[in-house]
Amino acid sequence: MDPTSAEAVAAQDEVIEILRQLIRFDTTNDGTDAGPGEAAAAEYVEAALREVGLDTERFSTTSSKRQGVVARLPGSDASLPRLLLHGHLDVVPAQAGDWSVPPFGAEVLDDMVWGRGAVDMKDMDAMLLSLARAWARSGRQARRDLVFLFLPDEEAGGHHGSHWIVDHRPDILEGVTEGVSEVGGFSMTLPDQRRMYLIQTAEKGIAWMRLYADGRAGHGSVINRENAVTELAAAVTRLGEHTWPVALSPTAKRMTQTIGDALGVELDLEDLDHLAEQIGPMVRFIGAATRNTTNPTMLSAGYKANVVPGSASATVDGRFMPGHQDEFFRKVDELLGPHVRREFENHDIALEAEFEVPLVDAMRAALDAEDPGALVAPYILSGGTDGKAFARLGVTAYGFSPLRLPADLDFGALFHGVDERVPVDAVHFGVRALDRFLRQV
Protein backbone atom coordinates (compact mmCIF):
# COMPACT_ATOMS: atom_id res chain seq x y z
CA MET A 1 0.00 0.00 0.00
CA ASP A 2 1.24 3.48 -0.84
CA PRO A 3 2.08 5.47 2.27
CA THR A 4 -0.39 8.03 3.56
CA SER A 5 0.29 11.37 1.92
CA ALA A 6 1.59 14.37 3.84
CA GLU A 7 -1.66 16.17 2.98
CA ALA A 8 -3.78 13.39 4.49
CA VAL A 9 -1.66 13.46 7.65
CA ALA A 10 -2.09 17.21 7.91
CA ALA A 11 -5.84 16.93 7.35
CA GLN A 12 -6.13 14.21 9.99
CA ASP A 13 -4.45 16.50 12.50
CA GLU A 14 -7.20 19.11 12.28
CA VAL A 15 -10.32 17.35 10.98
CA ILE A 16 -11.77 16.48 14.39
CA GLU A 17 -11.42 20.03 15.70
CA ILE A 18 -13.03 21.34 12.50
CA LEU A 19 -15.88 18.85 12.94
CA ARG A 20 -16.40 19.95 16.55
CA GLN A 21 -16.42 23.60 15.54
CA LEU A 22 -19.04 22.91 12.86
CA ILE A 23 -21.28 20.97 15.28
CA ARG A 24 -21.18 23.85 17.77
CA PHE A 25 -22.95 26.06 15.23
CA ASP A 26 -26.67 25.49 15.71
CA THR A 27 -27.82 25.24 12.10
CA THR A 28 -31.16 23.62 12.89
CA ASN A 29 -33.54 23.49 9.93
CA ASP A 30 -37.13 22.62 10.84
CA GLY A 31 -38.43 23.29 7.34
CA THR A 32 -40.08 26.63 8.18
CA ASP A 33 -37.15 29.01 7.55
CA ALA A 34 -37.62 30.19 11.14
CA GLY A 35 -34.43 28.62 12.47
CA PRO A 36 -31.04 30.20 13.06
CA GLY A 37 -29.85 29.56 9.52
CA GLU A 38 -26.40 28.61 8.31
CA ALA A 39 -24.74 32.04 8.13
CA ALA A 40 -22.45 31.64 11.15
CA ALA A 41 -21.23 28.22 9.97
CA ALA A 42 -20.74 29.54 6.44
CA GLU A 43 -18.65 32.42 7.78
CA TYR A 44 -16.44 29.92 9.63
CA VAL A 45 -16.03 27.80 6.48
CA GLU A 46 -15.18 30.85 4.39
CA ALA A 47 -12.52 31.98 6.88
CA ALA A 48 -10.96 28.50 7.01
CA LEU A 49 -10.68 28.35 3.21
CA ARG A 50 -9.48 31.92 2.72
CA GLU A 51 -6.81 31.42 5.35
CA VAL A 52 -5.00 29.05 2.97
CA GLY A 53 -5.45 31.25 -0.09
CA LEU A 54 -8.30 29.48 -1.86
CA ASP A 55 -10.53 31.34 -4.31
CA THR A 56 -13.60 31.54 -2.07
CA GLU A 57 -17.06 33.14 -2.17
CA ARG A 58 -19.67 33.26 0.59
CA PHE A 59 -23.16 33.94 -0.76
CA SER A 60 -26.69 34.41 0.56
CA THR A 61 -29.59 32.61 -1.05
CA THR A 62 -33.11 33.63 -0.02
CA SER A 63 -32.16 35.61 3.10
CA SER A 64 -29.06 36.82 4.89
CA LYS A 65 -29.15 33.85 7.27
CA ARG A 66 -29.33 31.23 4.51
CA GLN A 67 -25.76 31.21 3.30
CA GLY A 68 -23.33 28.91 1.52
CA VAL A 69 -19.69 28.90 0.46
CA VAL A 70 -17.96 27.89 -2.76
CA ALA A 71 -14.21 27.47 -3.27
CA ARG A 72 -12.19 26.25 -6.21
CA LEU A 73 -8.92 24.35 -6.33
CA PRO A 74 -7.48 24.39 -9.88
CA GLY A 75 -6.41 21.07 -11.37
CA SER A 76 -3.44 20.30 -13.57
CA ASP A 77 -5.51 19.79 -16.75
CA ALA A 78 -7.98 22.58 -17.48
CA SER A 79 -9.43 20.61 -20.40
CA LEU A 80 -11.02 18.04 -18.06
CA PRO A 81 -14.53 18.49 -16.65
CA ARG A 82 -14.71 19.81 -13.11
CA LEU A 83 -15.60 17.66 -10.10
CA LEU A 84 -18.04 18.96 -7.49
CA LEU A 85 -17.50 18.06 -3.82
CA HIS A 86 -20.49 19.24 -1.81
CA GLY A 87 -21.99 19.08 1.64
CA HIS A 88 -24.79 20.77 3.54
CA LEU A 89 -24.36 22.84 6.69
CA ASP A 90 -27.90 22.53 8.09
CA VAL A 91 -29.09 19.82 10.46
CA VAL A 92 -32.45 18.47 11.59
CA PRO A 93 -33.82 19.55 14.99
CA ALA A 94 -32.63 17.89 18.20
CA GLN A 95 -34.61 17.70 21.45
CA ALA A 96 -31.92 18.22 24.08
CA GLY A 97 -33.89 16.40 26.77
CA ASP A 98 -33.73 13.17 24.77
CA TRP A 99 -29.94 13.22 24.44
CA SER A 100 -27.23 11.87 26.74
CA VAL A 101 -25.08 14.91 25.93
CA PRO A 102 -25.85 18.44 24.71
CA PRO A 103 -26.65 18.03 20.99
CA PHE A 104 -24.53 21.04 20.02
CA GLY A 105 -21.76 20.45 22.56
CA ALA A 106 -19.51 18.46 20.19
CA GLU A 107 -18.16 16.36 23.04
CA VAL A 108 -15.63 13.59 22.43
CA LEU A 109 -16.62 10.53 24.45
CA ASP A 110 -15.70 6.87 23.96
CA ASP A 111 -13.52 7.86 20.99
CA MET A 112 -16.51 9.34 19.21
CA VAL A 113 -17.59 12.88 18.37
CA TRP A 114 -21.15 13.42 19.61
CA GLY A 115 -23.60 16.02 18.35
CA ARG A 116 -26.30 16.85 15.86
CA GLY A 117 -24.71 16.68 12.42
CA ALA A 118 -21.85 14.37 13.41
CA VAL A 119 -23.12 11.88 10.81
CA ASP A 120 -25.45 14.00 8.69
CA MET A 121 -23.29 15.55 7.44
CA LYS A 122 -20.78 17.75 9.21
CA ASP A 123 -18.31 14.86 9.33
CA MET A 124 -18.07 14.98 5.52
CA ASP A 125 -17.99 18.79 5.60
CA ALA A 126 -15.03 18.60 7.98
CA MET A 127 -13.23 16.04 5.83
CA LEU A 128 -13.63 18.16 2.71
CA LEU A 129 -12.63 21.32 4.53
CA SER A 130 -9.53 19.80 6.11
CA LEU A 131 -8.38 18.29 2.80
CA ALA A 132 -9.00 21.50 0.87
CA ARG A 133 -6.84 23.33 3.41
CA ALA A 134 -4.07 20.72 3.35
CA TRP A 135 -3.94 20.57 -0.45
CA ALA A 136 -3.96 24.37 -0.77
CA ARG A 137 -1.11 24.72 1.72
CA SER A 138 1.07 22.17 -0.06
CA GLY A 139 0.16 23.09 -3.63
CA ARG A 140 -1.19 19.60 -4.36
CA GLN A 141 -3.41 19.41 -7.44
CA ALA A 142 -5.86 16.89 -8.78
CA ARG A 143 -5.98 16.46 -12.55
CA ARG A 144 -9.43 18.07 -12.59
CA ASP A 145 -10.54 21.36 -11.11
CA LEU A 146 -12.21 20.72 -7.76
CA VAL A 147 -15.23 22.77 -6.74
CA PHE A 148 -15.94 22.69 -2.99
CA LEU A 149 -19.51 23.73 -2.18
CA PHE A 150 -21.04 24.02 1.31
CA LEU A 151 -24.81 24.54 1.21
CA PRO A 152 -27.82 25.58 3.27
CA ASP A 153 -31.25 23.94 3.46
CA GLU A 154 -30.64 20.38 2.28
CA GLU A 155 -32.73 19.00 5.15
CA ALA A 156 -35.86 20.78 3.88
CA GLY A 157 -35.48 20.01 0.19
CA GLY A 158 -32.85 22.53 -0.90
CA HIS A 159 -35.22 25.30 -1.99
CA HIS A 160 -33.03 27.80 -0.13
CA GLY A 161 -29.87 25.99 -1.21
CA SER A 162 -29.13 23.65 -4.11
CA HIS A 163 -32.29 24.40 -6.09
CA TRP A 164 -31.72 28.13 -5.57
CA ILE A 165 -28.21 27.76 -7.00
CA VAL A 166 -29.50 25.94 -10.07
CA ASP A 167 -32.11 28.66 -10.62
CA HIS A 168 -30.03 31.74 -9.76
CA ARG A 169 -26.30 30.86 -9.77
CA PRO A 170 -25.70 28.08 -12.29
CA ASP A 171 -22.30 29.66 -12.92
CA ILE A 172 -21.11 28.00 -9.69
CA LEU A 173 -21.46 24.63 -11.44
CA GLU A 174 -20.09 25.68 -14.81
CA GLY A 175 -18.02 22.87 -16.32
CA VAL A 176 -19.03 20.35 -13.62
CA THR A 177 -20.16 16.91 -14.83
CA GLU A 178 -20.03 14.80 -11.65
CA GLY A 179 -20.68 15.49 -7.99
CA VAL A 180 -19.67 13.64 -4.81
CA SER A 181 -21.36 14.02 -1.44
CA GLU A 182 -23.34 11.98 1.12
CA VAL A 183 -24.49 9.17 1.84
CA GLY A 184 -22.18 6.37 0.76
CA GLY A 185 -18.78 4.82 1.24
CA PHE A 186 -19.53 3.60 4.76
CA SER A 187 -18.78 0.04 5.82
CA MET A 188 -21.02 -2.77 6.95
CA THR A 189 -19.43 -5.79 8.60
CA LEU A 190 -20.41 -9.19 7.26
CA PRO A 191 -20.78 -12.29 9.46
CA ASP A 192 -17.31 -13.51 8.38
CA GLN A 193 -15.92 -10.13 9.57
CA ARG A 194 -15.19 -8.87 6.06
CA ARG A 195 -16.25 -5.31 5.43
CA MET A 196 -18.40 -4.18 2.54
CA TYR A 197 -18.53 -0.52 1.53
CA LEU A 198 -21.70 0.79 -0.07
CA ILE A 199 -21.17 3.51 -2.67
CA GLN A 200 -24.30 5.49 -3.42
CA THR A 201 -25.12 5.50 -7.12
CA ALA A 202 -28.87 6.07 -6.85
CA GLU A 203 -31.49 7.64 -4.63
CA LYS A 204 -35.22 7.34 -4.35
CA GLY A 205 -37.60 10.07 -5.40
CA ILE A 206 -39.36 12.22 -2.82
CA ALA A 207 -43.09 12.82 -2.39
CA TRP A 208 -43.88 14.67 0.81
CA MET A 209 -47.65 14.88 0.56
CA ARG A 210 -50.16 16.96 2.45
CA LEU A 211 -53.52 15.16 2.59
CA TYR A 212 -56.86 16.92 3.07
CA ALA A 213 -60.34 15.65 3.88
CA ASP A 214 -63.46 17.81 4.13
CA GLY A 215 -66.62 16.91 6.01
CA ARG A 216 -69.63 18.33 7.81
CA ALA A 217 -68.86 20.26 10.96
CA GLY A 218 -71.17 19.76 13.89
CA HIS A 219 -71.75 18.85 17.51
CA GLY A 220 -69.67 15.94 18.74
CA SER A 221 -72.65 14.31 20.46
CA VAL A 222 -74.70 13.58 17.33
CA ILE A 223 -74.32 11.07 14.53
CA ASN A 224 -72.12 12.36 11.71
CA ARG A 225 -71.55 10.27 8.60
CA GLU A 226 -69.43 12.98 6.98
CA ASN A 227 -66.67 13.19 9.57
CA ALA A 228 -63.47 14.54 8.03
CA VAL A 229 -61.32 13.05 10.78
CA THR A 230 -62.73 9.58 10.20
CA GLU A 231 -62.27 9.84 6.44
CA LEU A 232 -58.71 11.08 6.73
CA ALA A 233 -57.72 8.61 9.44
CA ALA A 234 -58.91 5.71 7.30
CA ALA A 235 -56.91 6.91 4.31
CA VAL A 236 -53.79 7.50 6.39
CA THR A 237 -54.13 4.03 7.89
CA ARG A 238 -54.42 2.46 4.45
CA LEU A 239 -51.26 4.24 3.31
CA GLY A 240 -49.31 3.50 6.46
CA GLU A 241 -50.25 -0.18 6.59
CA HIS A 242 -49.88 -0.88 2.89
CA THR A 243 -47.25 -3.50 2.11
CA TRP A 244 -45.41 -2.17 -0.89
CA PRO A 245 -44.07 -4.94 -3.12
CA VAL A 246 -40.40 -5.32 -3.97
CA ALA A 247 -39.55 -3.02 -6.88
CA LEU A 248 -35.91 -3.23 -7.89
CA SER A 249 -34.05 -0.69 -9.97
CA PRO A 250 -30.79 -1.77 -11.69
CA THR A 251 -28.79 -0.41 -8.73
CA ALA A 252 -30.96 -2.24 -6.21
CA LYS A 253 -30.64 -5.49 -8.16
CA ARG A 254 -26.85 -5.27 -8.19
CA MET A 255 -26.72 -4.17 -4.55
CA THR A 256 -28.81 -7.07 -3.28
CA GLN A 257 -27.05 -9.58 -5.53
CA THR A 258 -23.60 -8.45 -4.37
CA ILE A 259 -24.58 -8.57 -0.70
CA GLY A 260 -26.27 -11.95 -1.14
CA ASP A 261 -23.22 -13.39 -2.92
CA ALA A 262 -20.93 -12.12 -0.16
CA LEU A 263 -23.12 -13.75 2.48
CA GLY A 264 -23.59 -16.91 0.46
CA VAL A 265 -27.39 -16.61 0.65
CA GLU A 266 -30.27 -15.29 -1.36
CA LEU A 267 -31.60 -12.23 0.43
CA ASP A 268 -35.25 -12.56 1.45
CA LEU A 269 -36.49 -9.18 0.28
CA GLU A 270 -40.15 -10.09 0.76
CA ASP A 271 -39.77 -10.71 4.51
CA LEU A 272 -38.10 -7.74 6.21
CA ASP A 273 -37.91 -9.55 9.55
CA HIS A 274 -35.96 -12.39 7.94
CA LEU A 275 -33.86 -9.89 5.99
CA ALA A 276 -32.91 -8.27 9.29
CA GLU A 277 -31.71 -11.66 10.53
CA GLN A 278 -29.60 -12.00 7.38
CA ILE A 279 -27.94 -8.58 7.33
CA GLY A 280 -28.54 -7.09 10.78
CA PRO A 281 -29.17 -3.38 11.45
CA MET A 282 -28.34 -2.47 7.85
CA VAL A 283 -31.86 -3.64 7.03
CA ARG A 284 -32.87 0.00 7.60
CA PHE A 285 -30.92 0.97 4.50
CA ILE A 286 -31.32 -2.13 2.37
CA GLY A 287 -34.99 -2.84 3.05
CA ALA A 288 -36.09 0.68 2.16
CA ALA A 289 -33.93 0.59 -0.97
CA THR A 290 -35.94 -2.26 -2.51
CA ARG A 291 -39.48 -0.85 -2.53
CA ASN A 292 -41.61 2.28 -2.44
CA THR A 293 -42.63 3.56 0.99
CA THR A 294 -45.34 5.77 2.53
CA ASN A 295 -44.94 6.80 6.16
CA PRO A 296 -47.55 9.06 7.82
CA THR A 297 -45.70 11.64 9.90
CA MET A 298 -48.14 14.39 10.97
CA LEU A 299 -51.87 14.78 11.74
CA SER A 300 -53.94 17.93 12.31
CA ALA A 301 -57.65 18.37 12.97
CA GLY A 302 -60.14 20.01 15.29
CA TYR A 303 -60.10 22.61 18.04
CA LYS A 304 -62.46 21.30 20.76
CA ALA A 305 -63.41 17.90 22.14
CA ASN A 306 -67.15 18.24 21.40
CA VAL A 307 -66.89 19.79 17.94
CA VAL A 308 -66.59 17.69 14.79
CA PRO A 309 -64.26 19.76 12.54
CA GLY A 310 -65.11 20.51 8.96
CA SER A 311 -61.66 19.52 7.72
CA ALA A 312 -58.62 17.47 8.64
CA SER A 313 -55.10 17.19 7.25
CA ALA A 314 -52.11 14.90 7.45
CA THR A 315 -48.58 14.67 6.11
CA VAL A 316 -47.11 11.56 4.53
CA ASP A 317 -43.48 11.01 3.60
CA GLY A 318 -43.53 9.06 0.36
CA ARG A 319 -40.45 7.72 -1.43
CA PHE A 320 -40.45 5.97 -4.79
CA MET A 321 -37.89 3.81 -6.55
CA PRO A 322 -36.16 4.98 -9.74
CA GLY A 323 -38.40 4.09 -12.67
CA HIS A 324 -41.45 3.47 -10.48
CA GLN A 325 -42.92 6.96 -10.01
CA ASP A 326 -46.08 6.49 -12.09
CA GLU A 327 -47.14 3.23 -10.47
CA PHE A 328 -46.37 4.72 -7.04
CA PHE A 329 -48.80 7.60 -7.47
CA ARG A 330 -51.46 5.38 -9.03
CA LYS A 331 -51.41 3.21 -5.92
CA VAL A 332 -51.30 6.21 -3.56
CA ASP A 333 -54.43 7.67 -5.16
CA GLU A 334 -56.17 4.30 -5.00
CA LEU A 335 -55.40 4.01 -1.29
CA LEU A 336 -56.50 7.58 -0.55
CA GLY A 337 -59.92 7.01 -2.06
CA PRO A 338 -62.23 9.55 -3.68
CA HIS A 339 -62.74 11.84 -0.67
CA VAL A 340 -59.13 12.65 0.24
CA ARG A 341 -57.02 14.93 -1.93
CA ARG A 342 -53.28 15.40 -1.90
CA GLU A 343 -50.85 18.24 -2.53
CA PHE A 344 -47.07 18.23 -2.61
CA GLU A 345 -45.00 19.78 0.14
CA ASN A 346 -41.90 18.54 -1.67
CA HIS A 347 -41.68 16.50 -4.84
CA ASP A 348 -38.35 15.61 -6.41
CA ILE A 349 -36.93 13.10 -8.84
CA ALA A 350 -35.27 9.75 -8.29
CA LEU A 351 -31.67 9.41 -9.46
CA GLU A 352 -29.66 6.49 -10.81
CA ALA A 353 -26.09 6.56 -12.13
CA GLU A 354 -23.70 4.01 -13.60
CA PHE A 355 -21.48 1.98 -11.28
CA GLU A 356 -18.83 0.91 -13.80
CA VAL A 357 -17.30 4.32 -14.42
CA PRO A 358 -13.81 5.76 -13.78
CA LEU A 359 -15.03 7.89 -10.86
CA VAL A 360 -16.32 4.84 -9.00
CA ASP A 361 -13.18 2.91 -9.94
CA ALA A 362 -11.19 5.61 -8.11
CA MET A 363 -13.43 5.23 -5.06
CA ARG A 364 -12.96 1.46 -5.06
CA ALA A 365 -9.19 1.79 -5.39
CA ALA A 366 -9.06 4.26 -2.51
CA LEU A 367 -11.05 1.93 -0.27
CA ASP A 368 -8.94 -1.07 -1.22
CA ALA A 369 -5.76 0.86 -0.43
CA GLU A 370 -7.01 1.79 3.05
CA ASP A 371 -8.83 -1.49 3.77
CA PRO A 372 -7.28 -4.26 1.65
CA GLY A 373 -9.71 -6.97 0.64
CA ALA A 374 -12.77 -4.82 1.27
CA LEU A 375 -15.84 -5.57 -0.82
CA VAL A 376 -17.66 -2.76 -2.63
CA ALA A 377 -21.28 -2.60 -3.80
CA PRO A 378 -23.53 0.05 -5.32
CA TYR A 379 -26.24 1.37 -3.09
CA ILE A 380 -29.55 3.20 -3.45
CA LEU A 381 -30.30 5.83 -0.82
CA SER A 382 -33.83 5.83 0.58
CA GLY A 383 -33.55 9.55 1.35
CA GLY A 384 -32.54 12.41 -0.90
CA THR A 385 -29.57 14.71 -1.41
CA ASP A 386 -28.71 17.98 -3.12
CA GLY A 387 -27.71 15.84 -6.10
CA LYS A 388 -31.36 15.94 -7.20
CA ALA A 389 -31.11 19.67 -7.87
CA PHE A 390 -27.74 19.50 -9.56
CA ALA A 391 -29.03 16.81 -11.92
CA ARG A 392 -31.05 19.58 -13.56
CA LEU A 393 -27.72 20.96 -14.85
CA GLY A 394 -26.48 17.56 -16.02
CA VAL A 395 -24.37 16.78 -12.94
CA THR A 396 -24.28 13.05 -12.14
CA ALA A 397 -24.51 12.43 -8.38
CA TYR A 398 -22.57 9.92 -6.29
CA GLY A 399 -22.40 9.37 -2.55
CA PHE A 400 -18.91 8.78 -1.18
CA SER A 401 -18.40 9.88 2.41
CA PRO A 402 -16.08 7.03 3.42
CA LEU A 403 -16.19 5.72 6.98
CA ARG A 404 -14.76 2.45 8.33
CA LEU A 405 -17.21 1.67 11.11
CA PRO A 406 -17.12 -0.67 14.11
CA ALA A 407 -19.06 -3.88 13.54
CA ASP A 408 -21.34 -3.23 16.51
CA LEU A 409 -22.32 0.33 15.61
CA ASP A 410 -25.92 0.67 14.39
CA PHE A 411 -25.02 3.35 11.88
CA GLY A 412 -28.44 3.57 10.28
CA ALA A 413 -30.03 4.58 13.58
CA LEU A 414 -27.74 7.61 13.90
CA PHE A 415 -29.14 9.52 10.90
CA HIS A 416 -31.53 12.09 12.41
CA GLY A 417 -31.39 10.02 15.59
CA VAL A 418 -30.83 10.73 19.26
CA ASP A 419 -27.19 10.73 20.41
CA GLU A 420 -25.85 11.11 16.88
CA ARG A 421 -22.13 10.37 16.88
CA VAL A 422 -19.26 9.29 14.65
CA PRO A 423 -16.06 7.43 15.60
CA VAL A 424 -12.89 9.51 15.51
CA ASP A 425 -11.06 6.67 13.74
CA ALA A 426 -13.79 6.53 11.08
CA VAL A 427 -13.33 10.21 10.28
CA HIS A 428 -9.56 9.78 10.06
CA PHE A 429 -10.12 6.84 7.71
CA GLY A 430 -12.42 9.01 5.60
CA VAL A 431 -9.80 11.72 5.25
CA ARG A 432 -7.22 9.20 4.03
CA ALA A 433 -9.65 7.52 1.61
CA LEU A 434 -10.87 10.83 0.18
CA ASP A 435 -7.29 12.01 -0.24
CA ARG A 436 -6.44 8.88 -2.26
CA PHE A 437 -9.63 9.24 -4.29
CA LEU A 438 -8.98 12.86 -5.20
CA ARG A 439 -5.40 12.12 -6.25
CA GLN A 440 -6.79 9.71 -8.88
CA VAL A 441 -9.55 11.83 -10.42
pLDDT of residue 55: 92
29: domain range? 6-187+351-440
Tell me, what CATH number does 312's domain have? 3.30.70.360
Cα distances from 278 to residues 281, 283, 334, 412, in angstroms, run: 10, 9, 34, 16
- Residue 306 sits in the same domain as residue 409: no
Structure confidence by residue, pLDDT tens digits, 28-56: 999 888 889 999 999 999 999 999 999 99
Instruction: Answer whether residue 197 is part of any domain.
Output: no
- Residue 302 sits in the same domain as residue 360: no
C-beta of residue 172 within 8 angstroms of C-beta of residue 390: no
Instruction: Answer whether residue 280 is part of any domain.
Output: yes
- Residue 344 sits in the same domain as residue 355: no
Write the DSSP string, 76-134: S-TTSPEEEEEEE--B----GGG-SS-TTS--EETTEEESTTTTTTHHHHHHHHHHHHH
DSSP at 172:
G
C-beta of residue 37 within 8 angstroms of C-beta of residue 28: no
Classify strands 421-423 and 112-114 as parallel, antiparallel or unpaired. antiparallel
- Residue 217 sits in the same domain as residue 319: yes
Instruction: Answer whether residue 193 is part of any domain.
Output: no
The stretches in the chain having pLDDT less than 50 are none
For residues 315 and 207, give the distance between their C-alpha atoms in angstroms, rounded to a whole number: 10
- Residue 315 sits in the same domain as residue 277: yes
pLDDT of residue 1: 62
For residues 116 and 119, give the distance between their C-alpha atoms in angstroms, rounded to a whole number: 8
- Rg (the chain; Cα; Å): 23
Instruction: Answer whether residue 192 is part of any domain.
Output: no
- Residue 263 sits in the same domain as residue 356: no
- Residue 248 sits in the same domain as residue 268: yes
- Residue 132 sits in the same domain as residue 280: no
- Residue 91 sits in the same domain as residue 150: yes
For residues 89 and 70, give the distance between their C-alpha atoms in angstroms, rounded to a whole number: 12
Secondary structure of residue 206 in the 3-state scheme: strand
Classify strands 176-181 and 82-88 as parallel, antiparallel or unpaired. parallel
Tell me, what CATH number does 24's domain have? 3.40.630.10
CB count within 10 Å of CB 235 equals: 23
**Which of 133, 152, 209 has the alpha carbon at shortest distance from 389?**
152
At which of 322, 348, 374 does a domain end?
348
Structure confidence by residue, pLDDT tens digits, 209-236: 999 999 999 999 999 999 999 999 999 9
At which of 348, 372, 395 does a domain end?
348
- Number of domains the chain contains: 2
Instruction: Answer whether residue 96 is part of any domain.
Output: yes
Cα three-residue angle 179-293-27, rounded to 5 degrees? 50
- Residue 73 sits in the same domain as residue 147: yes
pLDDT of residue 273: 81
Sign of CA dihedral 71, 77, 81, 86: negative
- Residue 311 sits in the same domain as residue 238: yes
- Residue 274 sits in the same domain as residue 374: no
Cα distances from 250 to residues 146, 241, 286, in angstroms, run: 29, 27, 14
